[in-house]
Amino acid sequence: MDIRAQLSMNFHMDKCIGCHLCSVACKNIWTTRRGAEYMWWNNVETKPGAGYPLTWEDQERYRGGWEVSGGSLRLKLLKGPGKIRTLANIFFQPNLPTVDDYYEPFTFDYQNLFNAPAGDDQPVARPRSLITGEFMEKVVLGPNWDDDMGGSPLYAMNDPNLKGLSESQKEMLTKFHKLFFFYLPRICNHCLNPACVASCPSGAIYKRGEDGIVLIDQDTCRAWRFCVSACPYKKPYYNWANGKSEKCIFCYPRTETGQPNACAHSCTGRIRFVGVLLYDADRIEDTAKTPDERLVEAMRDIILDPNDPRVIAEARKAGIDENWLIAAQQSPAYNLFKKWRISMPNHPEFRTVPMNFYVPPLSPILHQAKSDSGGVFDPESMEFFNAIDKMRVPIRFLANLLSAGNEQVVLESLKKQLAVRMYRRQQRFGDVGESVVKSVLSQVGLTAQDAEDIFRLTALSTVQERFVIPETHREAMTSVDPRTMFEKRGSVGFGPKKKEFLGRTW
């Protein structure tokens, strides 16, 4: 057993209102530099939708992630000759997205509003490209271009997750009263089996042993861009201006000092939970090789119980600090993913073993399940509980998104969430029969205490309960050269802020 710690973020999708405060907080701190304007390390997409970059989930096109071939794990990108293919394609990458798949960064010519000569028409602010500096004919794509376009045949219908849905389910997207959509906030998953790390010819990308954060060494990166192609979530971004790849750094300067990530801290819906997970690094490869239908289960298996004395002893032997063990025992990530089993990974079938988890959203059920009685239900019986697969968001869609197609895992989570709601209704109003709630809770395998805890964490929790992030005290055991701190001043760590070198300015 080789125990390691991992920081993990969980997202309660039911609570996400799609306000993009997380994206803006992230952008303001990390990506307002030249060449990084188009990057959204944190982005929130509307699902169903094409996503950012467009159709990123379509690995037929991008060839990101891993596949099992002949019993061994291989990067999809390297189909055929294997690693030699990296060197063969090093001059031109066939699967690399271009800036047009994200969007051309632009600003508006606001000065014209003030400086335009007097005339018959109102002056306008024309869009101007941030790459070339020239005026753009029109803006054809932007961040969240298909925001809230859940019903649009142009955007929503292009969602790769719609495969396997019945025609009537797809048709719901065209009927205004029936259409469904929800939000999918995305940051780097800081995977256990990261494809970006495995694809980097320079060896510039690495996973940090202590907290599992995946980072790109800016001094070693040589702009080969294989990470961009290999990551199935398209979360490494290429900075076209300085020729380096960049990605979400899990706000490590904040988490190292025990503060929550900027995206998580700014979240108005309080949908994010950050905590420590302990896992067994010896089993990563086996986990990543598990067949699709058992993938989520395998990922839960690799996470270890932080209260198990054997695990604690092994973790101490592996050098995990005491404050990390305590944090692991109070970890909301552990509770949501492993203990209560209500959150699940995004696209586990990409086999990178992602370490961020999502609680699937509940959606309207009464109109569909009780259409004969006009959507009115009898609280005494709550029989719609058993018709949970009639929810407006098709289970199939959620399963494609969150569990590699395994509908049972999604159903389990939805039922548990509904059971907690019934439990709370019983507590609060008493109009649901106590025996009904009891049977429902036992049916989904929760105790009354569990239901209370889930309610507490997902509805009332404080900052300290949502973010259990231990300090690392890196300053005491640093391998960082303090002399470079002065050089990196004002550059948020991404190379010289502005250094003229032989005509290249950044």
Which residue lies nearer to other proteins by CB, 117 or 133?
133
Nearer to other proteins, 220 or 464 (CB): 220
Which of residues 119 and 503 has its CB atom nearest to other proteins in the complex? 503
Among residues 187, 188, 198, 231, the one that binds other proteins under rule CB under 8 A? 198
Tell me the closest approach of the beta carbon of residue 288 to other proteins, in angstroms.
9
- From 94-102, 119-127, 145-153, 160-168, give the range in contact with other proteins by CB under 8 A: 94-102
Q: Is 208 in the site for other proteins (CB under 8 A)?
A: yes
480 binds other proteins (CB under 8 A): yes
Phi, psi (degrees; rounded to nearest 5) at 45 = -110, 155
**Amino acid identity for residue 66 in this structure:** W
Asked, as a colleague might, if the bond just before 482 is cis with ω within 30 of 0, I would say no
- Phi and psi torsions of 316, nearest 5°: -60, -40
Cα 168 to Cα 375: distance, rounded to the nearest angstrom? 20
Phi, psi of 199 (to 5 degrees): -100, -10
Q: Work out which of 19, 24, 29, 99 binds other proteins, going by CB under 8 A.
A: 99
CB of 402 to other proteins, least distance (A): 25
Residue 24: HSE in the Cβ half-sphere, 13 Å Cα cutoff: 7
The DSSP code sequence of 12-26 is EGGG-----HHHHHH
> Shortest distance, CB of residue 475 to other proteins, whole angstroms?
10
Residue 255 C-beta: closest distance to other proteins, Å: 13
Least distance in Å: CB of 422 to other proteins?
43
| Binding status of residue 134 toward other proteins by CB under 8 A | yes
Q: Does 477 bind other proteins (CB under 8 A)?
A: yes
State the number of binding residues for other proteins (CB under 8 A): 64
Binding status of residue 502 toward other proteins by CB under 8 A: yes
Shortest distance (Å) from residue 293 CB to other proteins: 23
Binding status of residue 17 toward other proteins by CB under 8 A: no
Residues from 406 through 435 that contact other proteins (CB under 8 A): none
The answer to whether 233 and 354 have CB atoms below 8 angstroms apart is yes
Any contact of residue 319 with other proteins (CB under 8 A)? yes
User: Judged by CB, which is closer to other proteins: 131, or 139?
Assistant: 131
Q: Token digits for 438?
A: 């009891």
Q: Which of 24, 131, 149, 326 binds other proteins (CB under 8 A)?
A: 131
Quick check: 189 and 235 in contact, CB under 8 A? yes
Contact window for other proteins (CB under 8 A) among 69-77, 270-278, 341-349, 379-387: 69-77
Q: Does residue 137 bind other proteins (CB under 8 A)?
A: no
Q: For 391, which DSSP code?
A: S
236-275 residues in contact with other proteins (CB under 8 A) are 238, 240-243
Residue 219 binds to other proteins (criterion: CB under 8 A): yes
Any idea what DSSP says for residue 193? S
Query: Residue 268's closest CA among 189, 192, 185?
Result: 185
Q: Considering only residues 70-89, where is the footprint of other proteins by CB under 8 A?
A: 72-73, 75, 83-84, 86-87
- Residue 360 to residues 23, 342, 357, 417, 457, Cα–Cα distance (Å): 20, 8, 9, 9, 16
* Per-position DSSP letters for 293-324, written without gaps between them: GGHHHHHHHHEE-TT-HHHHHHHHHTT--HHH
**Polymer length in residues for the chain:** 506
The answer to whether residue 383 forms part of the interface with other proteins (CB under 8 A) is no
| 216 touches other proteins (CB under 8 A) | no
CB atoms within 10 A of CB 177: 6
Instruction: Figure out which of the listed residues 119, 372, 479, 483 binds other proteins, where binding follows CB under 8 A.
Output: 479
Element at 244 (helix H, strand E): strand 244-246
Q: Are 291 and 348 in contact (CB under 8 A)?
A: no
209 near other proteins, rule: CB under 8 A: yes
Round to whole Å and give the CA distance between 116 and 122: 9
CB of 337 to other proteins, least distance (A): 21
Assess 478 for contact with other proteins (CB under 8 A): yes
Q: How far is residue 492's CA from residue 29's CA, in Å, rounded to a whole number?
A: 8
How far apart are the C-alpha atoms of 28 and 211, rounded to whole Å?
24
CA quadruple 130, 263, 20, 196: dihedral sign = positive
Return residues touching other proteins (CB under 8 A). 2, 72-73, 75, 83-84, 86-87, 90-93, 96, 98-99, 131-134, 193-194, 197-198, 200-203, 205-210, 218-225, 228, 238, 240-243, 281, 284-285, 318-319, 474, 477-480, 495-496, 499, 501-504
